[in-house]
Structure 1
Amino acid sequence: MAIPIFRPSIKRRDMDRVLTCMVSDRLGPGPLAKEFAHFFSDYLGAAGGVSTVNYHMAIFAALDTFGVERGDRVIISSLAPQAYLEVFRQRGIQPLTADVDPDTCMMLQDAVKAFLDKNPRAIIINNTLGCYPDTEVIDGYSLPVITDFSQGFNNANTPGKAMQGDIMLLSLAVDNIITAAGGGLVLARGKKDYKNLSSIFEEQSEDLLLCDMNAALGLAQLKSIEKFISTRKEIGEIFRRSLKKSRHRTIASGQDSEVSFYSFPVLLEYGIKEVRQYALKQGIETRHAFLNSLVAAEEHLKRSCPNSMSLLSRCILFPLYPSLGKRNVELISRVLSTLP
């Protein structure tokens, strides 16, 4: 069987908490969901957070925290997940979609500056493929900043000081760095924003919150989170060195940042079909990196965001996760160095 592109970093011995929850009287939203949000709040240095039933609800809550309403404009990357487009359409929010730097996958600052003249209510920064802009870029915006860290953590080696932006949100889907088999998380940096965030759910049904069953699955991974992240970086550096022997390359990091390696992206000079077939013949799954992005869904962006269009057609992902094992790391490394 081929090495899967994604695999949750969960071991059998980590499942005790999940099994305990399964035989308890409460599987719905409860203390474990609150513990999950509290852990991340402490870990990243937030005032507080809320665990949500799904990723879409997390996006809704982040926007509602700042009072974003129908007709408002929000700056967002052309490589952001299509979930944002679905939320924007439901709410009548107008996306101001910025093209990206072809090397880092981060929004072009010239594009962002041009949109500032259109009175946006907020800006959303996605840590695409584990990359994130330099800290001074985020701190320099004069409007509320929502950072989506579903694909990467910044400054994970300094717990309590890694909060970026005013709101951070996380998808807990099966293919993200931390998974709860679905769900979402919203964190507020400041006390005022946390109060606004909390008030959104006070009069709402518990159905909008993460179930304890899912939270237990997420909590099982959190005790090893620093090890998970450091292992991803170690494997990523091995793959990066191997890829240098080929004619292809990977994405770059910002000036004072490191890639946290959600997966291992390869930017192909040509021959995407040939490369994918070669990898599969060696027993390795790959995936197009941006088929679920805004630029893949919106025809007009294919003209206004040429860099994103290029990445859509040229960037594929290779497996990279802590449970790969030495043999698979060596195999993938060898394949990366000999890509056609």
Structure 2
Amino acid sequence: MDEFIPLSVPNLKGNELKYLTDAVEAEWVSTGGAYIDRYELEFADYLNVESAVACQSGTAGLHLALILSGVEADHEVIVPTLTFIAAVNPVKYLHAYPVFMDCDDSLCMDMEKLKEFCQTECDFIDNKLINNSSGRHIKAVVVVHVFGNMADMSAVMDIAEKYNLKVIEDATEALGTFYTKGRYKDRYAGTIANIGVYSFNGNKIITTGGGGMMVSTDSDIMKRAKYLSSQAKDDAVNFIHNEVGYNYRMTNLQAALGVAQLEQLERFISTKKENYSIYKSSINDDEMGGFRIFDFRDDIRSNYWFYSLYIVNPDKYPRDKIIESLAKANIQTRPLWGLIHEQRPYLHDQTYKIEKAFEFYNRIINIPCSSNLSSDDVYRVIDKIKVIHNKGVEF
């Protein structure tokens, strides 16, 4: 049996052990310690923003971002259906209501449909966008940059300005991606909207095992994020808390990992770009009419986090059969997430013209993309896909 090729695993070949050992020897292992401050400062410096706030997870960051955007019970938040469920669950934490939007050809939110929804399905009254079907106030939009691609931020920021909406960038999959042209040239994913959130789960481009980060162009928002994430502590000596806070701070051990990982981020991106180029040049319409590698936008420098195999003819090449065939060859792949509006907790929430998301759900498979993936492994995956293309899959 060939060696197992995982989908996406950490690359821990830098100073991780050195910094972790230092944190342990200093006995700062919890939510205080020098590495937390260092990680926040170096992360903000990388993104060219004023400050950053470390937290326990991307989900925790999104929860705080919604709170800081003024989302409350009975508000509505426009969200994508094609995303990981963590981008949507925090809306429910606040007893607010999601409204699900379709994706465009980038896999990110369809801004034309968002604009159309605001124009035709809502009224703008007293500086509030009101959903005609529910009568509720739409307060915010959560935009997810999917797989290292980037949503059309220029469009969503214009819509938000017109209708007084807060925009939250879920950049959990797009650390290092930035625009190379246009209105937001050189701006990183997560740094354009009111608040941006990142994740450092084990499969992300850099990892702290768990953990996340928040950034904002508003320094007051960042101060309040740190306050709320630290149990809203107003007097640390006498344990005085004037608001309900959260235990959402990152640990020093996690931050030590993060500092070491951030040092290697550009190298990881370079490797992932090289492997993506091999995949793309080998799996294309000329050589394999049944498959192609999904493109990233041409106006960004992507971080190439996940690679997507697009099935041109899913009737001939069923998605699940391809996944099964690759698994038999000891190659791990995965389908897209189940669309969120079809998940049990969200069956009764509003949707708007969900069409393209269904197409991509049936046609996309994520293939191995780790930053420590060798070119030999890439070619082994390609060879197996070619065999499937030429011989088909068993029914």
Tell me the TM-score normalised to structure 1 length: 0.90
Q: 1:181 aligns with which of 203, 209, 214?
A: 209
Aligned to 2:9: 7
The Cα of 1:339 is off from its aligned counterpart by 3.7
Aligned partner of 2:238 in structure 1 is none
1:36-75 to 2 correspondence within 5 Å? 36-75=39-78
Contact 1:279 1:286 in 2 (8 A): yes
Q: How does 1:1-340 map to 2 (within 5 A)?
A: 1-11=3-13, 14-30=16-32, 31-101=34-104, 103-116=105-118, 117=122, 118=131, 119-140=137-158, 141-142=160-161, 143-152=165-174, 153-155=176-178, 161-162=187-188, 163-201=191-229, 203-204=232-233, 207-244=247-284, 245-246=287-288, 247-268=290-311, 269-270=313-314, 271-291=318-338, 293-297=339-343, 298-299=346-347, 304-340=353-389
Structure number with larger C-alpha Rg = 2
Give the aligned residue type for 1:222. L
| Separation in structure 2 between the aligned mates of residue 57 and residue 253 of structure 1, nearest angstrom | 28
Larger fraction in helix: 1
C-alpha distance after superposition, 1:161-201 (max 9, x if no partner): 42232211012211111211112211112223323433434
Pairwise CA RMSD of aligned residues? 2.6
Q: Unaligned stretches of 5+ in structure 1?
A: none
* Contact 2:291 2:310 survives alignment (8 Å): yes
Distance in 2 (alpha carbons) for counterparts of 1:290 and 1:186: 24
Cα distance, 1:115–1:191 mapped onto 2, change above 3 Å? farther
Q: Does the CA contact (< 8 Å) of 2:11 and 2:371 recur in 1?
A: yes
Answer whether contact 2:81 2:101 (CA < 8 A) is retained. yes
Alignment partner, residue 241 of structure 2? none
The 3 A distance-change label for structure 1 pair 2 and 157 is: farther
| 1:254-299 C-alpha deviation (Å, 9 max, x unpaired) | 35124432221112221113312332233311111213x5245244
Question: Could you tell me how far 1:146 is from its partner in structure 2?
Answer: 1.1
**Segment drifting more, 231-240 vs 273-282:** 273-282
Unaligned runs of 5+ in 2: 123-130, 132-136, 234-244, 390-395
Q: Aligned partner of 2:19: which letter?
A: R
Q: How far is the alpha carbon of 1:227 from its aligned partner?
A: 1.1
- Taking a change above 3 Å as real, the CA distance of residues 338 and 149 of structure 1, as seen in their structure-2 partners, is farther
Greater Cα offset, 116-125 or 313-322: 116-125
SS of residue in 2 equivalent to 1:322: coil
Say how many residue pairs are matched. Answer: 338
Query: Partner letter of residue 150 of structure 2?
Result: Y
